[in-house]
Amino acid sequence: MAIIKARPFDFTLVPDKTALVVIDMQRDFIEPGGFGATLGNDVTLLEAIIPATARLIDGFRRAGLTVIHTRECHAPDLSDCPPAKLSRGRPSLRIGDPGPMGRILIAGEDGADIVAALYPLPGETVIDKPGKGAFYATPLGEILREKGIAQLVFAGVTTEVCVQTTMREANDRGYECLLATDATESYFPEFKKAAIDMITAQGAIVGWAATVDQIVEALDA
d(CA 64, CA 41): 36
- Which of 114, 115, 112 shows the shortest CA–CA distance to 100? 112
113: annotated active-site residue:
no
Backbone angles phi, psi at 11, to 5 degrees: -110, 125
| Total residue length of the chain | 221
Strand partners, 184: 156
24: annotated active-site residue:
yes
Q: Which DSSP state fits 16?
A: G
The interaxial angle of helices 189-204 and 164-172, nearest 10 deg, is 20
d(CA 18, CA 24): 19
CB 44 within 8 A of CB 72: no
Question: Looking at 73, 81, 162, 177, which residue is catalytic?
Answer: 162
Is residue 148 helix, strand or coil?
Answer: coil
132: annotated active-site residue:
no
Three-state helix/strand/coil letters over 203-218: HHCCCEEECHHHHHHH
Backbone angles phi, psi at 94, to 5 degrees: -110, 165
Question: Looking at 28, 129, 182, 192, which residue is catalytic?
Answer: 129
d(CA 62, CA 189): 31
Active site residues: 24, 129, 162
